């Protein structure tokens, strides 16, 4: 089981780029990295997933260094609506203890 | 398109009463199904997952149980609720073990 460590909270201002780093020192060879976003009283929503190097979609970018012991979720030009909790998950599949939601990072975007 | 439903949205139940929460998925076949619980201000705790009809894996010892009577139906039950069962219950589905999970709207359960 690859344990992840994220900052508990972060503050940012509208229009800024936000980078949230997740540490996963014990990541296994077959594990991939997935990020979810959760708004209050809603279920989490998938943001992005990657295995190595860089992945980009219309919402975010995910940077994974060569040793894969950490990853960084990058949110470009955040807005107030990006205020949410962001979860980093590491696992080879979404069964049971292979895929664990930690406490996440609470991002607050200020005007 | 796929849709996931959960009901009820909110529920207040006395200690010792039974529980039945239902989750259904539309627009897909043979999904993996999951039940999570989230305590206030905490992360999600995986309770059960299912890879097929009648196949249930339990992740945490508790007084809850799950059943999957149909391909796209997942039910969370308890015979006698405890105060500690209060929380936000989320159902999710995924296509395969490595696919992203799609979450339902959740049920907020308060045990009094």
CA distance B15 to chain A (A): 23
- Put simply, the answer to whether A94 touches B90 (Cβ < 8 Å) is no
Instruction: Tell me the residues of chain A between 33 and 72 that have a Cβ less than 8 Å away from chain B.
Output: 34, 41-46, 49
Give phi and psi for A10, each to the nearest 5.
Answer: -145, 150
- Dihedral of the CA atoms B82, B83, B88, B93 (nearest 10)? -20
| Residue of A111, A110, A104 whose CA lies nearest to A9 | A104
| Residue of B36, B8, B35 whose CA lies nearest to B21 | B8
- Put simply, the answer to whether B97 touches A87 (Cβ < 8 Å) is no
DSSP structure class, residue A80 = G
Digits of tens for pLDDT over chain A (111 positions)?
Answer: 558 999 999 999 999 999 999 999 989 888 889 999 999 989 999 999 999 999 999 999 999 999 999 999 999 999 999 999 999 988 876 665 556 777 899 999 999
CA distance A97 to chain B (A): 7
* Whole-number Å distance between alpha carbons of B85 and B38: 10
* Whole-number Å distance between alpha carbons of A85 and A31: 22
């Amino acid at each position: 089981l690859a344990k992840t460590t994220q900052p508990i909270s972060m503050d940012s201002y509208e229009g800024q780029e936000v980078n949230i780093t997740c540490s996963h020192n014990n990541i296994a060879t077959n594990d991939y990295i997935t990020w979810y976003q959760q708004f209050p009283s809603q279920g989490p929503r998938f943001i992005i997933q990657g295995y190595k190097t860089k992945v980009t979609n219309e919402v975010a970018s995910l940077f994974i260094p060569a040793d894969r012991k950490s990853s960084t979720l990058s949110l470009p030009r955040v807005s107030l609506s990006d205020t949410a909790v962001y979860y980093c998950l590491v696992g080879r599949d979404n069964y049971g203890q292979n895929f664990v939601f930690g406490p996440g990072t609470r991002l607050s975007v200020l005007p | 398109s796929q849709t996931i439903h959960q009901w009820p949205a909110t529920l207040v139940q006395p200690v010792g009463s039974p529980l039945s929460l239902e989750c259904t998925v539309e627009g897909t076949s043979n999904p993996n199904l999951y039940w999570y619980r989230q305590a206030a201000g905490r992360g999600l705790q995986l309770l059960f997952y299912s890879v097929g009809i009648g196949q249930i894996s339990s992740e945490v010892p508790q007084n809850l149980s799950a059943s999957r009577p149909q391909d796209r139906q997942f039910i969370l039950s308890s015979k006698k609720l405890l105060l500690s069962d209060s929380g936000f219950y989320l159902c999710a589905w995924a296509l395969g073990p490595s696919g992203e999970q799609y979450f339902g709207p959740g049920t907020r359960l308060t045990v009094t």
